[in-house]
Copies of this chain bind each other. A is one copy, B any other.
Amino acid sequence: MNQIQDALFADLYELTMAACYFENRMFAPATFSLYIRKYGPHRSYFISAGIDEVLDYLERFHFTADDLDYLQSTGLFSRDFLNYLENLRFTGELFAIPEGRLFFKDEPILEITAPIIEAQLIESFLINAVNLQVSIATKAARCVHAAGGRNLVDFSLRRTQGTDAGMKVARASFLAGFKATSNVLAGKQYSIPISGTMAHSFVLSFAEEIEAFRAFARTFPDRTVLLIDTYDTVSGAKKAAEVGREMRERGQTLKGVRLDSGDIAKLSREVRRILDEADLKEVVIFASGGFDEFGIEEALSRGGAIDAFGVGTKMGVSADAPYNDIAYKLVEYNGRPVLKLSTAKKTLVNQKQVFRETREGKMIGDTIGMRAEILPGKPLLECVMREGKRLAAPEPLARIRERFLAEFLTLPDSHKSIKNAENYPVRLSPMLEKAQSKTVREVKKRELGES
């Protein structure tokens, strides 16, 4: 594993605030909500992901001797405070929407309650972990939806933003319905099927293209997918057909060809015709090169004869929405509801719960209420950690994936469109609305002198 487990993976202000809480003996419980304030372009839902990583981090949270030496060297912190940090562990409680479930803007994907210093120090890591996996799972699900049942493979490793993203993108895209990843380490680490055959360099390293094809077919007779666009896609397809017939004579089967450049919708039809005319109807056409949900939808709508897609960079960095307006906000301290005043950025006070209603197997709307309320629908936030300990063992990724695929079927198509999707209805319970207004009034009166 390559997980950061270091409590110094934090913004400095978490530590300076903690030092000040410490000096003022502020150890009361605080509740923070993690939620996304708005949808990125064309987005209409999010998928919960990254929770397992959060639990893992919280269970191991601590400062090493080395960390404390470094903090001392900065000259910012008292000896008392550093001693306090030495023994600090995370002892709080965590409610979360299980990985693989859908959630919507303003809904807390997790709520943490812990002594304020603990809840504060973990902020940077929590946002970082959840933000990336939610972004990618959501982008990947949009690709899966656009592909209408065709297989998708994660090809993004080389252009993800760093190595951690390379791993998490493989995980999150598989969670959201991808079939496989090219990332071998992710295959090993997360038990994801791995996929891949050859690059242009392979073809170039042989004196002739067809010799490269033949060599690969000899080494991997059961899994040969030939990359046919190194010099010219149509001439490559003809050579692939020749090798396909040679394989058949040896009792083998050419599995597929891959197109990686040019007008793939158009070229794929021509390649299909060449393969069909060579009586190689079983050979699948694999397309790659700059695809995401928009490219997939366009290629298919233009009649591309494509059986599967390799989806790379644009999914792996969520190119059209490379970040979320995600926030980790204090909503209650020592039993007192709190909020920041801002017209543009709403924070919902108090410990909360989200209730999801379905009718005839379809999701019809969510209500955000107070944690203690009992409202119609299924409560989504589940207690997953108490006193700093997980309440259940980590779930296999395959099970999370099944949960997502089952729930995604229940989301009406009008909310899934790649463009111009309808907003899914999310309302606040009357009790939460009231608590919210009351807090706003009190704060305005106290801080701004409004009556």
Contacts and interface: CB of A to CB of B under 8 A. Distances in A.
Contacts of A19: 219-220
B30 A159 contact: no
Interface in A168-195: 168, 182-185, 187-188, 194-195
Given A13-B199, A17-B202, A200-B330, A127 B341 contact: no
B162 A201 contact: no
Interface in A410-451: 443-444, 446-448
Within the oligomer, what is the number of copies of this chain? 2
A102 B286 CA distance: 38
A375 interface: no
A329 interface: yes
Interface string A118-155: 00100111011101100100000000000000000001
A295 interface: no
B161 A162 contact: yes
A230 B319 contact: no
Given A124-B166, A128-B163, 8 more contacts: A12-B194, A16-B196, A19-B219, A20-B216, A32-B201, A70-B184, A70-B188, A161-B165
Interface of A: 2-4, 6, 8-17, 19-21, 23-24, 26, 30, 32, 67, 70-71, 74, 76, 116, 120, 123-125, 127-129, 131-132, 135, 155, 157-168, 182-185, 187-188, 194-202, 204-205, 208-209, 215-216, 218-220, 223, 229-232, 235, 261, 313-314, 316-319, 322-324, 326, 328-330, 333, 338-342, 344-345, 443-444, 446-448
